[in-house]
Amino acid sequence: MNTQATTSPQFYLTAPAPCPYLPGEMERKVFTHLVGPRATEMNDLLTQGGFRRSQNIAYRPACESCRACVSVRILAKEFKPNRTMRKVEAANADLVSTAYPAQPSTEQFSLFRRYLDHRHQQGGMSDMSALDFAIMVEDTHVRTKVIEYRRRPEEGQDGPGQLVAVALSDIMSDGLSMVYSFFDPDMERRSLGTFMVLDHVRRANEMGLPHVYLGYWVNGSRKMGYKVRFLPQEHLMSQGWTRYQQDAGE
């Protein structure tokens, strides 16, 4: 029996399942494990090739009859917030973002559960426990950070300010990849999802990284529509990463 470890990733294909984004469609995914000393290098290469990370798994759609999922990355150096985004930045000027090692906390999980219960009651993550959350954060073999967004403590207040949003993000050789984010569902007027993307663009520029990877934009899915608002950006097409030209009707 050959016991020599392979240096090349082994890829697998999932069985068909209902698509969570487009009614009536079936999805399949190709995936591999991100483990071992080359995990960071492989995560970079696979993300640049259209994969996403979930814990120690890298996956991408491999659907038989649909190509609606498109990998998106913001061109951070060229990005300029529009008027609406500048208003979001102003509305959240009282927030402070801090990056930490990928370690979960009870406070984070409490906010995570409130977010799921309010916005994703029927989703695949709806029954996640504290242990599931801890695994989601900690089960990484790549450079991962937890970024907390808190209100600035009021004068005389002991301890940190209120936690209002959290992002789990990978640091890659050419950018930041937003793996998952969540926020206080009672603060919708703050547009915290948009604010976290804007903060990642700022961080990427400060780190000298050219891209912010947003995962998949699904044409026809309303909840994914926000991703094409951050311009300029590139989409991964059959010919490679291509500058996105927004249609007038979008």
Domains of the chain with bracketed CATH: 12-68 (no CATH), 72-243 (3.40.630.30)
pLDDT, mean of residues 17-32: 92
**Averaged over 5-16, what is the pLDDT?**
83
Q: What is the DSSP string of 211-226?
A: EEEEEEEETT-GGGGG
Decide if pLDDT at 235 tops 70.
Answer: yes
What pLDDT score does 228 carry?
94
Distance CA 192, CA 104 (A): 20
Lowest mean pLDDT among 2-6, 56-60, 142-146, 148-152: 2-6
In whole angstroms, give the CA distance from residue 19 to residue 25. Answer: 5
- Quote the percentage of the chain above a pLDDT of 90: 80
Confidence (pLDDT) at 122? 57
CA–CA separation, 153 and 27 (whole Å): 45
Give the integer Cα–Cα distance in Å for 111 and 101. Answer: 18
Q: What is the full DSSP assignment across 186-212?
A: GGGGG-HHHHHHHHHHHHHHHTT--EE
As beta bridge partners, residue 53 has 58
Q: How far is it, in rounded angstroms, from Cα 212 to Cα 176?
A: 5
Is residue 224 within 8 A of residue 80, CB to CB? The reply is no
Check residue 171 and give its pLDDT: 98
The helix-helix angle for 83-91 and 192-206 (nearest 10°) equals 100
Confidence bin at 243 (pLDDT 50/70/90): very high
In this prediction, residue 80 carries a pLDDT of 96
Structure confidence at residue 118 (pLDDT): 87
Confidence of residue 196 (pLDDT cuts 50, 70, 90): very high
Residue 187 has pLDDT above 80, yes or no: yes
Position 62 confidence tier, pLDDT thresholds 50, 70, 90: very high
Is residue 247 very low, low, confident or very high in pLDDT (cuts 50, 70, 90)? low
Q: With contact defined as beta carbons under 8 Å apart, do 61 and 28 qualify?
A: yes
Q: Looking at 11-15, 54-58, 188-192, 245-249, which range is the least confident one?
A: 245-249
The confidence score (pLDDT) of residue 224 equals 86
| CA distances from residue 93 to 79, 96, 97, 147, 188 in whole angstroms, order as listed | 19, 8, 11, 16, 15
* Mean pLDDT (whole number) for 67-91: 97
Cα dist from 122 to 116, 119, 162, 184, whole Å: 9, 9, 28, 18
Across 193-198, average pLDDT: 98
